[in-house]
Amino acid sequence: MKTMSVGDLKARFSDVMEEVKKGEEIVISHGKRKRKIAVIVPYERYRGRNRIRLGVLRGKASVEFADDFSMTTDELLGG
């Protein structure tokens, strides 16, 4: 996983996108302290990350939420 500043990302955006297409994850840092603020990941990895596992119903049930669903995962799970 590479780390780069916002300025480097701006200057090398096309190159960075090519790296992401090849599977690289890129951490973006900001400011003098280079605080990490974001990660650019390939879409295929992102797409499956936030799935909620159904435990005993695994393989027997599934659930999907609309894009405008406003409850957070913690609220949904009672956390």
Domain of 66?
2-77
Domain containing 45 — which CATH number? Answer: 3.40.1620.10
The tally of domains found in the chain comes to: 1
59: left (phi over 0), alpha (psi -120 to 50) or beta: left
Whether 40 contacts 53, CB under 8 Å: no
Read off the pTM. 0.59
Q: Centre a 10 Å sphere on the Cβ of residue 25 and count the other Cβ atoms it contains.
A: 15
The per-residue pLDDT for range 31-71, each reduced to its tens digit, is 999 999 999 999 888 776 656 666 777 778 777 778 888 88
Q: What span, in angstroms and rounded, lies between the C-alpha atoms of 29 and 5? A: 5
